């Protein structure tokens, strides 16, 4: 897949990683770009050979569960050897639904990955663990995370959005330690269903306040604080709103600065009659209770 002149690849590892990747690939705009897709198997030599063949890629989106430490660490090392920049999406096991061994593995996987990766997006299964029959919600949760990833890619694809991969990776990291980002997203129809049949019907005004408020209720990390070090907002709207200057960027930045110390905004267009706001809130390790809990379990097991 080529975005802004750069070649990209997706790598899915484990059941959670491949499920989210499959949900990403359901989007026509992604399939239209003919992405490079790797689903890693247990055959280590095949994995190394396949990744080595993709040395022409500039960037990799790796999606994996974190309790499969050996496989994901091996993939990260291979990408580093090939000089491919990497954004890692890691799925945390739920505290109340997983054995302590899996939680401890997740912590040590994060520790190993710090040698190769400096930018993490965390998907926390604890967010749905309280639900009865929570396994039934995995497909919906995977689709939610996939929609966030697609919006991020749209933001770096759009040359007018003032965001690219290098800048994205720089924001989701710190000079002295990795950055750990929580996703959040909300969307609304800009036209009724009749708007798809009758294109001349006008779009309704954007309700950015409500979009931001609703998105803040859907952070991908349980018990994440509502004050992050940095925040990136990807706002996708029909071209009409950009052309007619109907996007109040100052309002978005004002609201986002209520939740983050630094705010970065990327506005891009979509052909759908939908306005969507996707946020990345970047934290240091010590700010996230969930990561501290994993570290505590690991230390208790020593």
Q: Cα(279)–Cα(40) distance, rounded to whole angstroms?
A: 28
Among 47-61, 262-276, 288-302, name the one with the lowest average pLDDT: 47-61
pLDDT at position 132 is 86
In the chain, how many H helices and how many E strands?
12, 10
Q: Which residues of 199-214 are buried (b: 16+ CB within 10 A; e: fewer)?
A: eeeebeebebeebbeb
pLDDT per residue as tens digits for the range 144-198: 999 999 999 999 988 877 899 999 999 999 999 999 999 999 999 998 666 555 5
Counting other chains too, the contacts that 50-55 makes at CB distance below 8 Å and 24 or more residues apart are 51/11, 51/75, 51/78, 51/79, 51/82, 52/78, 52/82, 54/9, 54/82, 54/84, 55/82, 55/83, 55/84
pLDDT at position 186 is 97
Contacts of 260 by beta carbon, 8 Å cutoff, 6+ apart: 227, 228, 229, 230, 231, 281, 282
Is it true that domain 183-287 has CATH number 3.30.1330.190?
yes
Question: Taking the alpha carbons of 51, 9, 147, 76 in that order, is the dihedral positive or negative?
Answer: positive
For the residues 286-295, what does the mean pLDDT come to?
96
- What percent of the chain lies above the pLDDT cut of 70? 88
- Domain assignments of the chain as residue spans, ordered by start: 2-171, 183-287
Residue given tokens 């590892």 in the structure block: 13
Question: What global pTM score does this model have?
Answer: 0.92
- Tell me, what DSSP letter sits at residue 173? B
Pairing of strands 85-92, 119-124: parallel
51 class by beta-carbon count within 10 Å (0-12 exposed, 13-18 middle, 19+ buried): buried
Which listed CATH number (3.40.50.1440, 3.40.50.720, 3.40.50.620, 3.40.50.300) goes with 2-171? 3.40.50.1440
pLDDT per residue as tens digits for the range 7-36: 788 999 988 999 999 999 999 999 988 888
CATH topology of 2-171 equal to that of 183-287? no
Task: Single out the residue of 19, 55, 59, 56 nearest to residue 39, CA to CA.
Answer: 19
**CB-based contact 25:78 (threshold 8 Å):** no
- Tell me, what DSSP letter sits at residue 59? E
pLDDT at position 21 is 96
For the residues 56-72, what does the mean pLDDT come to?
85
Q: pLDDT band for 217, please (50, 70, 90 cuts).
A: very high
Q: Does the pLDDT of residue 3 top 90, yes or no?
A: no
């Amino acid at each position: 897949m080529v975005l802004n002149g750069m070649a990209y690849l997706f790598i899915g590892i484990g059941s959670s990683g491949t499920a989210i990747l499959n949900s990403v690939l359901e989007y026509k705009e992604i399939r239209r770009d003919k992405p490079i897709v790797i689903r890693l198997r247990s055959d280590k030599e095949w994995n190394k050979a396949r990744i080595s063949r993709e040395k022409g890629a500039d960037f990799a989106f790796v999606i994996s569960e974190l309790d499969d430490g050996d496989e994901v660490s091996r993939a990260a090392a291979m990408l580093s050897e090939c000089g491919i920049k990497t954004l890692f999406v890691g799925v945390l096991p739920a505290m109340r639904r997983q054995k302590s061994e899996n939680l401890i593995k997740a912590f040590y996987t994060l520790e190993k990955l710090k040698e190769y990766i400096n930018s993490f997006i965390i998907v926390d299964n604890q967010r749905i663990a309280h639900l009865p029959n929570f396994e039934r919600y995995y497909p919906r949760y995977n689709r939610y995370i996939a929609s966030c990833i697609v919006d991020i890619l749209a933001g770096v694809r759009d040359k007018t959005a003032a965001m690219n991969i290098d800048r994205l990776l720089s924001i989701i990291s710190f000079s002295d330690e990795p950055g750990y980002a929580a996703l959040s997203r909300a969307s609304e129809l800009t036209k009724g269903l009749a708007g798809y049949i009758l294109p001349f019907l006008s779009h309704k005004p954007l309700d950015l306040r409500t979009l931001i408020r609703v998105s803040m209720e859907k952070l991908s990390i349980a018990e994440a604080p509502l004050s992050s070090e940095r925040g990136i907002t990807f706002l996708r709207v029909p071209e009409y709103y950009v052309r007619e200057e109907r996007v109040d960027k100052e309002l978005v930045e004002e609201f986002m600065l209520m939740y983050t110390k630094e705010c970065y905004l990327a506005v891009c267009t979509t052909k759908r009659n939908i306005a969507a706001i996707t946020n990345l809130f970047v934290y240091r390790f010590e700010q996230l209770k969930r990561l501290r809990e994993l570290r505590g379990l690991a230390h208790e097991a020593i």
